[in-house]
Structure 1
């Protein structure tokens, strides 16, 4: 079974709740998506609202992967760069695959779908993302064609005494 990806799906209450559940479950499984466990849906809701506002304003696009039962199983947010000298690339944020689906290649499928979606946008030549060091995420993104282009040591404080590098990755699309 594979995931079915949709760019810019209709923002329904079911989709909103599915993304919120996914984000909560990924965070509580230790995923590097902006939170440290334990978290609740209510902890994550304000951040999701920010993403939804950016979507409504046309600054962010949502890529959703649904499993065979139609449940939200993966997401990535593609955020257009508004700086006039940098509109030729976009940011990829909040890349998530539900823990129950990990290890099946769905992360690679999600990254390929994100690259395909970005290629379909006018003038986009590259994707940038950041990831939390110390988890091996750089190796995953490198295996998807990204290369490390920068690193800020200790920029992410997961807990007192537990600082991680902020790793910048780039995927040229041309």
Structure 2
């Protein structure tokens, strides 16, 4: 990662902390990533700002310091990438969290933003949320298991053909974990 792309991190732990400008940037990032073919929660591009805003607003409304937070990467004050980390309220599994929606804006790809977010979420999950393990599910066929593997994540299973992107284009859903 070059010096000019070293991100500053911002955690949003309550919905009221999300400014309208930051919300707009987050939704625009999500639209851009999805419409560029990214595995970001909307499997069938194209998506519109309004479609994504509904889902983003639900995530924002569910933010809670103990259960769900956004981790944003900013480069020169511009949103370069983000993710959501959550834990269940179920006491049987409250010691682990799940990473959702890791995204790097297409204008910042190749600069290490995604890797930086994943390194930072490891620290946040352990030190601030008290988690012992993180999990995620990734779309097969796009090299994500290699990306996460380089960051210490282990593949723990697959659901073969679980994701049908188009007729004849079934992908595995790859289950991964990281001990903190």
TM-score, structure 1 length as denominator?
0.93
Structure 2 segments unaligned to the other structure (5+ residues): none
Q: Give 1:3's aligned residue.
A: 7
Structure 1 residue corresponding to 2:118, chosen from 99, 111, 114: 111
Q: Does 1:149 align with 2:150?
A: no
Structure 1 counterpart SS, 2:62: helix
Paired residues of 2:7 and 2:113 also in contact (CA < 8 A): yes
TM-score, structure 2 length as denominator?
0.90
Structure 1 residue corresponding to 2:97, chosen from 90, 100, 124: 90
Q: Give 2:86's aligned residue.
A: 79
Deviation sequence 1:44-87 (CA, Å, 0-9, x none): 1121122112115853111011111x111110101112222111
Structure 2 counterpart SS, 1:55: coil
After TM superposition, the runs of 4+ consecutive aligned structure 1 residues lying more than 6 A away are none
Q: Does 1:125 align with 2:132?
A: yes
Q: Give 2:175's aligned residue.
A: 168
